[in-house]
Amino acid sequence: MKTIQDTNLKGKKVLVRVDFNVPFDKQGNIADDTRIREALPTINKLVSDGASVILMAHLGRPKKGGFEAEFSLKPVAEYLSKLINQEVVFTQSLLGSEVENLCKNLREGQVMLLENIRFYPEETKGDKDFAQKLALLGDAYVNDAFGAAHREHSSTATIAQFFPNDKYFGLLMAREVENLNKLMKEHSKPFTAVIGGSKISSKIGVLESLLNIVDNLVIGGGMRYTFYKALGYNVGDSLCEDDKIDVAKSLMSKAKEKGVNLYLPEDSIIADDFSEDANTKYVPEMNIPDGWQGMDIGEKSINKYCEVVLNSKTILWNGPMGVFEMKKFAVGTNAIAKAVAQATEKGAFSAIGGGDSVDAIKESGYADKVSYISTGGGAMLEFLEGKVLPGIKAIEQ
């Protein structure tokens, strides 16, 4: 793997694709700066080597094909400047003589951030001419945007071809690829995947792929009710994808064929409304009465799942066990978080990924007790599906 770790890019203008797609609160402040902080090791390494750093990033999904104030990266430039204790040069345009001159005049160790690259519709099309123009701004290219690695966009993939000998993985990207490879190819057994979340439809590829490598597949979240229905149980008002019942059946028979232990929760915490103030009840079985919906896994499932996790040497967790955003339905999710942390303490390798799962492990207080938290939701899932991510391929080929 060609990473910036083993290279000194002193004196070079280095184009770095980062993932600064951060959430903002209603007052316009950055609500969670994790993604900016995750890019710091790469930025700091390049700065201390004496490279000039030209950052490229996107924010949200601008639609108009030009500047839109709500998607501007200017607040991110100001924020980053505080984090790295130096001015971050910010440019509103990405192409043209103004930005070219700014890049040319950047001193060693200086950092610049280009405005939201998605203000140019060419970006998401992976346009080659656009990528070539961007490439003119730098002497080397670094991809550190794992969160966007599954996109074949101009700045995440296409641009790499213009730096055949000067393209590198950033430190974050390298760490993600190393950890995910470890998980998929060099894991110790027993290997347990805990998969939850809302919909089975968004996880089919991952579930299929995991059946080839795991010993235990533990199912939770809303997606379990599609399995319940496939088994002939009543699901009441629970989240259920009727058009995916066949998928659930096929996953269960594949698990049997491959000798994978597939666990479904035996009990549920149910509610008469999808809200924090709803009436709740415990059901010790898989039938959910009409007028009620499953919101969390119950105690029997928690005990079983924790036991499976604690006996594992490798653990992958994606998808909360229940509607964890509402405190009273976060019990199952928090119990699994604790078990994953305990298993890790006993020597297991544990990996967690997915936007909501990462929020959940942070809220549980166990985030620093697991082996690895992925910064890419969609990118991680596609990697686990066995797909070759365009952002990774572009650097490796």
Binding site for ligand ADP (CB under 6 A): 196-198, 202, 221-222, 239, 294-295, 318-320, 322-323, 325, 354-357, 377
Q: Rounded to whole angstroms, how far apart are CA atoms 329 and 144? A: 36
Residue type, 179: N
Whether 50 is catalytic is no
Supply angle C-alpha 168, 174, 176, rounded to 5: 145
CB-wise, 92 or 202, nearer to Mg ion?
202
CB-wise, 168 or 324, nearer to ligand ADP?
324
CB-wise, 196 or 298, nearer to Mg ion?
196
Q: Which residues contact 288 (CB under 8 A, 6 or more apart)?
A: 225, 228, 233, 234, 235, 236, 237, 238, 268, 270, 294
Given 378, 386, 387, 393, the catalytic residue: 378
Cis-peptide into 190, omega within 30 deg: yes
Query: How near is the Cβ of 85 to ligand ADP at its closest, in Å?
Result: 34
CB-wise, 7 or 198, nearer to ligand ADP?
198
Q: Which does 294 bind (CB under 5 to 8 A by kind): ligand ADP, Mg ion, none?
A: ligand ADP
Q: Rounded to whole angstroms, how far apart are CA atoms 65 and 118? A: 8
Q: Let me know: does 15 contact 135? Beta carbons within 8 Å.
A: yes
Q: Which does 132 bind (CB under 5 to 8 A by kind): ligand ADP, Mg ion, none?
A: none
CA atoms within 13 A on the CB side of 224: 30
Taking CB atoms, the residue at the shortest distance from Mg ion is 356
Q: Rounded to whole angstroms, how far apart are CA atoms 197 and 322? A: 7
Query: How near is the Cβ of 269 to ligand ADP at its closest, in Å?
Result: 9
Q: How far is CA 321 from CA 131, 329, 375, in A?
A: 42, 9, 20
Query: How near is the Cβ of 302 to Mg ion at its closest, in Å?
Result: 22
Query: How near is the Cβ of 41 to ligand ADP at its closest, in Å?
Result: 24
Strand-strand pairing, 216-219 and 261-263: parallel
Whether 126 is catalytic is no
Q: How far apart are the first and last CA of the chain?
A: 11
Whether 355 is catalytic is yes
CB-wise, 62 or 294, nearer to ligand ADP?
294
Name the one range near Mg ion by CB under 5 A: 56-64, 272-280, 287-295, 353-361: 353-361
Query: How near is the Cβ of 322 to ligand ADP at its closest, in Å?
Result: 5
Q: Which does 357 bind (CB under 5 to 8 A by kind): Mg ion, ligand ADP, none?
A: ligand ADP
Query: Which member of 38, 123, 241, 356 binds Mg ion (CB under 5 A)?
Result: 356
Burial (CB < 10 A; 0-12, 13-18, 19+), residue 338, is middle
CB-wise, 19 or 122, nearer to ligand ADP?
19
Query: How near is the Cβ of 188 to Mg ion at its closest, in Å?
Result: 28
Q: Let me know: does 23 contact 63? Beta carbons within 8 Å.
A: no
From residue 297 to residue 336, what is the string marking binding to Mg ion with x (rule CB under 5 A)?
----------------------------------------
Query: How near is the Cβ of 198 to ligand ADP at its closest, in Å?
Result: 4
Q: Which does 390 bind (CB under 5 to 8 A by kind): ligand ADP, Mg ion, none?
A: none
355 binding Mg ion? (CB under 5 A): yes
Q: Which does 170 bind (CB under 5 to 8 A by kind): ligand ADP, Mg ion, none?
A: none
Q: How far is CA 137 from CA 100, 126, 130, 278, in A?
A: 6, 18, 12, 57
CB-wise, 289 or 355, nearer to Mg ion?
355
Name the one range near Mg ion by CB under 5 A: 13-21, 60-68, 219-227, 356-364: 356-364
The catalytic residues are 35, 199, 355, 378
- Judged by the rule CB under 5 A, the positions of this chain that interact with Mg ion are 355-356
